[in-house]
């Protein structure tokens, strides 16, 4: 459980979101290899990473 300040929490949430966006970009790159598209979704502290047809992997708030 996080026990820091509200400011620290916001900073960590922003960092988690940035990392989730990087993970989504990596999943797009893997799909672009043409070996078969991934599917499903990943739940992370930075948001839900999910595949959207025609849009690739995206990060959405919960």
Give mean pLDDT, residues 46-60: 92
Consecutive H or E run containing 29: helix 6-32
Q: In the predicted model, is pLDDT for residue 57 greater than 80? A: yes
Q: In the predicted model, is pLDDT for residue 12 greater than 90? A: yes
Dump pLDDT digits (tens) for 29-42: 999 998 886 778 99
Other CB atoms within 10 Å distance of the CB of residue 41 = 13
Q: Mean pLDDT in the chain?
A: 92
* Both tokens assigned to 57: 């992997």
pLDDT band at 26 (very low <50, low <70, confident <90, very high): very high
Consecutive H or E run containing 5: none
Domain boundaries, the chain: 6-60
């Amino acid at each position: 459980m996080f026990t820091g300040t509200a400011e620290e929490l916001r900073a960590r949430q922003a960092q988690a979101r940035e990392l989730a966006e990087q993970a989504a970009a990596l999943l797009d790159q893997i799909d672009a290899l043409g070996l078969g598209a991934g599917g499903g979704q990943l739940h992370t502290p930075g948001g839900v990473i999910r595949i959207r047809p025609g849009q690739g992997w995206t990060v959405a708030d919960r």
